[in-house]
Amino acid sequence: MRAVEIIPSPSALMQSLRGLGYSPETALADLVDNSIAAGATSIEIQIDWNEGLPEAAVLNNGRGLDQAGIAGAMCFGGGGPSTKRGPDDLGRFGLGLKTASLSQALRMTIASRVNGVGVALAWDVDEVISSGRWHANIPDRLPDSALSAHFEVLTSGTLIIWQRMDSNGGMFGLDKISFFKKIENIRAHFAMVFHRFLGGDARRISLAVNGRPVRAWDPFQRRHPATITMQTEHLRLKDESVAVTPYVLPHRDRFTNEAEHEEAGGFGGWSERQGFYVYRGKRLVVAGGWLGLGGTRSWTREESSRLARISVDLPLTLDRDWQLDVRKSIARPPGSLRARLTAIGAACRGRAREVFAWRGGRVRHPSAELSNPMWLAEHNAGKITYRIDRKHPALMALSASCGEKAGLLEAVLVLVERSVPVERIWLDVSEGEDVRPIAFNDSEVARIAPQLAKLLAELPGEEPPRLRLDRLLEHLPAGQTALRTSVLELLEA
């Protein structure tokens, strides 16, 4: 059988490969991946406004490349996805360096040093298109860059420079304020994607953008005392283990202040960041979302599940099974794991819903022997109704003090139960409105504290006043220190 060699058009293929959909942050993250694979411990990124003609550079102190190595790195495809990779090699298709760089800029220069000897090559999109040939240039000197001088003093390392960044990427055409806002988004993206390398359980690296170190952002807030860590499961696939750990993050009332709560929400906010976090070689690939899981109807990002985040750790050998894409931003679970992942996700979402609904306190159904929240959720014939608990100690004491007028209290409670604007509250929350209980101000504390002290004194039982007060305030918003202190002072007077 005869064969015909079909050589792709350099100009057409170059232009097509520029359109893979990289954002500036995902493109730069690909270059950070290469730096980690090269054994770098220090990675510097410089992104310059350059009077509206932006340029960028990435420098690492990794192993570096010789002449043959740098030519191989410039070759589209490289070793390909079948290449056996080490535990720190975050590559996959052999396209990342080229497609990521050329998605953002018309000219890419890569320079590298080994044992103090430097080599360099450059792709120029316009030249490839005009010549129709896969010719890379050997530059006479490196382009001017803030990192070029740092590169010259390295014994080993690699420098990549982007020039003529155009509208194909996401940095060209921005005004100066938007440009630097975009840089902050890039920093936040790195803090999330590489958090295990910046301060977690992987090999440590230092990563700086425009001279400022990037600090790790833990999606699971594992150091927060109110974070719930559920049981880790190890799912087997092709003699490999996929570790899955669900977390339920704290309710906003459990954070010290609004700034701490906003930071915990992460890049994109709380609703965007819920769901599965898929890691490949300690590097975050998917940062939230529900992976198309959910049974007959796929789950969507909902307010009630915003506190649910699930870590999934993949070995490098399962790339094909999880359908990892070129940009390393999409993964799809294999069919054999979908049922178990759905069950894990449902359990985490259910637990998150309880924390979301009850501000981190414990939800109580009528049959449960827990603490005494003021509200009960009753399930009947597929419907949920919300009732005020008539057995709450405060209501029992108040009802007893009403004597013959206890029926009036019951009538008022029924009116309150029937008039809770559930639909309006849900609509406001789903539209991003800041709906939450309001903390007591000083005038309210002065007005309410004497009445609470009197009520506590009338509660039945032998519990100490402090314990009674804690039980009474348990399900109120955090930050009621002034009210608690004032009531205790009145009780002990």
Q: What is the CA radius of gyration of the chain?
A: 29
pLDDT at 381: 67
Give the HSE-up count for residue 352: Cα atoms under 13 Å, Cβ half-sphere: 26
Enclosing H/E stretch for 80: none
217-260 tens-digit pLDDT = 999 999 999 999 999 999 998 889 999 999 999 998 889 898 99
Query: What values do phi and psi take at 34, rounded to 5?
Result: -60, -40
Contact (CB, 8 A) for 55 and 161: yes
Contact (CB, 8 A) for 167 and 58: no
Residue in this structure with the two tokens 């109704």, named with its chain if needed: 385
What 3-state DSSP class applies to 308? strand
**C-alpha closest to that of 278 among 250, 239, 245:** 245
pLDDT at 366: 39
**C-alpha closest to that of 53 among 186, 138, 123, 143:** 143
CATH architecture of 10-213: 2-Layer Sandwich (3.30)
Structure letter (DSSP) for residue 289: B
Residue in this structure with the two tokens 């958090």, named with its chain if needed: 195
Below-70 pLDDT ranges, the chain = 77-95, 200-203, 325-329, 359-373, 381-382, 426-427, 429-439, 459-461, 471, 474-480, 493
299-343 tens-digit pLDDT = 999 988 999 999 999 988 888 888 786 666 678 899 999 999 999
Domain locations in the chain as residue ranges:
10-213, 228-357, 375-492
Question: What number of other Cβ atoms are within 10 A of residue 483's Cβ?
Answer: 21
pLDDT at 438: 67
Question: What number of other Cβ atoms are within 10 A of residue 259's Cβ?
Answer: 9
